[in-house]
Structure 1
């Protein structure tokens, strides 16, 4: 996950209000229920010590979602009476929750926003194709292509002229498949889609797939159900979920391999809070790996005003010359350091749940930029 969108959260000091709300329910009672949620979240923040202005800003922002049709949820991060960032979520949170702390509680975003593969769904027939861009946040038109329209249908006779006509039909199909493949390639380049899902008859899907560039092979999947089937949405979501799982498994495998010392006796990955804190101070984290349920995720660390001012014990910050220090969750402090140094982050939950693979000890690990 690219963390660059979180930069605004670290341009100002805390404390911060962090709120996650579920917007997946849509009934006649939803506006009233969301008003009650807004009031409850503001009250919860106040009970944790949040200032009145920030509680009011959060309540007003949540009240504005009363009629929202967002399919999953929203996160809000506020301080000093202002909502600084409010990203929509790609997955629904496990209940509404609010936090008041020195740092924004961004760790849940790795699962709730995190890996949201964008895919182009190509609805293919013999005449051309229509492209649709899909993500967890919705869908939209991504263009279309129309090929030759004549001749398109074979005949059943064996007459020479009819065989000649059938050859023209075959040439039309092949021409249209090439046109669709070219247009789909351009569409992927323009949208930077993570996946291409082909929908249509077997022969038509195969003809287009065979003409796509080899570099796109790993991105292509075929939906077994057609555009008129209610199961198509399930096909697409299954492809997207599989992509997320494979990506998590690949990174976890890379982490486990790098954890072992190389020929020089140094490892390319670390785990455990003390080692991660040291790597963060030295700007060596390349990708942070997190299992939200790991015991180290909510372990206490100490932070200063700057992202690289992080320590296991408060006295360490004093030695480093930091006069002001605050207690923070380890996951949130490490994410702040990752944002500041341009590192990525990934929730490994899909990989560990699907295969039972071992994750980082304590739930926190990192691939390093150098050993």
Structure 2
């Protein structure tokens, strides 16, 4: 299997570009009981009161609060992240994964938790195959949206029976040929799916003969992402408990593969290590993947300007770049904003690694420092 790709953060660019009086809200909008709509209204009223009390722009607050109470169209546990500047929404994302509830008013949108959730996203196709075709579920770990598809072949003969003599042999050949054709159809559908959209994992399960046939016929793009699972059936009423555990384990392996891939590149390529080097690299637009250990920058402050790459540790650093009135914000939020502003990836870490003693670093696209060997 190839090294899993990082999940893109490009959808957050409009929010990273705004500057001034920006409102951000992370709200639980789950509709899991009959009082859910009323509970969401209460949360919206609370964030409206707290943000206005903090001096936030009224138009931005109203835009956020109004969007929070709108139905998402998804049941179960869901979370909404909304950001606005003036009366204009710049981000509205509905997540299936939990994010810490918070609201903020300041010079930039607070995107760290949303970026972390997006970066952790694993998109997968769960393929339940039998001799007639496959049921395919396309899902991700962040979005509540799932798609269900069916791949069916020309299955005219699918059950081997004893009919005797030459006719039995001929009948069995027809069965085997039909199974092979159906597997070929599934393989082609999976190749087309992986070619049209981002799929990090293809998880194949079901009838062993059909699984083997599909696995042998898929193209390279699918084969590089394919894992065969032991549990799961296409049959109606089959239990999914053990299958769910296997899917979750495969997702965790994908995330671990991303971490290993980035750390391998940190060990042997152009890199920035530590806060000072990483901020400099972000300011120069050199970062390909920003690495942040959760909690490593708590309570540390930075200063920012109108453009995402304008960040520094002191106001003087930014006034030297022509920023008239640098604004104070959290360092981790400023770094994530700068990463998004240069189309960089984010690798969230949840445990320390030896390559990054303080938990902060970056893989660089290029390095313009005079002495590159110092990195």
| Short-chain TM bin | 0.7 to 0.9
Cα distance, 1:237 vs structure 2: 3.5
Write the distance in 2 (CA, Å) between the matches of 1:87 and 1:284: 28
Cα distance, 1:37 vs structure 2: 0.9
Cα distance, 1:215 vs structure 2: 4.1
Number of residue equivalences: 354
Residue 18 to residue 359, structure 1, CA distance change in 2 (3 Å): farther
Q: What is the CA RMSD across the aligned residues, in angstroms?
A: 2.4
Contact preservation (8 Å) 1:34, 1:65? no
User: What SS class does the counterpart of residue 361 from structure 1 fall into?
Assistant: coil
Structure 2 unaligned runs (5+)? 1-6, 368-375
Write the distance in 1 (CA, Å) between the matches of 2:67 and 2:189: 41
Cα distance, 1:171 vs structure 2: 2.4
Write the distance in 2 (CA, Å) between the matches of 1:92 and 1:51: 27
Cα distance, 1:342 vs structure 2: 2.1
Which moves more between the two structures, 284-293 or 314-323? 314-323
Cα distance, 1:104 vs structure 2: 0.7
Counterpart residue number, 1:110: 115
2:295 aligned with 1:299: no
Q: 1:6 aligns with which of 4, 12, 19?
A: 12
User: What SS class does the counterpart of residue 81 from structure 2 fall into?
Assistant: strand
Residue 209 to residue 282, structure 1, CA distance change in 2 (3 Å): same
Residue 167 to residue 10, structure 1, CA distance change in 2 (3 Å): closer
Counterpart residue number, 1:263: none
Write the distance in 1 (CA, Å) between the matches of 2:184 and 2:149: 18
2:343 aligned with 1:337: no
Cα distance, 1:26 vs structure 2: 0.7
Q: 2:253 aligns with which of 242, 262, 269?
A: 242
Contact preservation (8 Å) 1:273, 1:364? yes
Cα distance, 1:134 vs structure 2: 1.7
Write the distance in 2 (CA, Å) between the matches of 1:250 and 1:25: 38
Contact preservation (8 Å) 1:31, 1:67? no
Counterpart residue number, 1:99: 104
Contact preservation (8 Å) 2:18, 2:109? no
Contact preservation (8 Å) 1:42, 1:59? yes
Write the distance in 2 (CA, Å) between the matches of 1:91 and 1:358: 29
User: What SS class does the counterpart of residue 112 from structure 2 fall into?
Assistant: coil
User: What SS class does the counterpart of residue 55 from structure 2 fall into?
Assistant: coil
Kindly provide the CA deviation profile for residues 212-271 of structure 1, in whole angstroms up to 9, marking residues without a partner as x.
22443231122312232232344334323332232233223332x14xxxxxxxx62113
Kindly provide the CA deviation profile for residues 271-294 of structure 1, in whole angstroms up to 9, marking residues without a partner as x.
322212211222111111122311
Write the distance in 1 (CA, Å) between the matches of 2:53 and 2:263: 39
User: What SS class does the counterpart of residue 203 from structure 2 fall into?
Assistant: strand
User: What SS class does the counterpart of residue 138 from structure 1 fall into?
Assistant: coil
2:49 aligned with 1:43: yes
2:183 aligned with 1:147: no
Write the distance in 1 (CA, Å) between the matches of 2:180 and 2:33: 49
Write the distance in 2 (CA, Å) between the matches of 1:53 and 1:323: 25
Alignment TM-score, normalising by the size of structure 1: 0.86
Kindly provide the CA deviation profile for residues 327-347 of structure 1, in whole angstroms up to 9, marking residues without a partner as x.
121222122222222222221
Alignment TM-score, normalising by the size of structure 2: 0.85
Counterpart residue number, 1:131: 136
Write the distance in 2 (CA, Å) between the matches of 1:366 and 1:132: 35
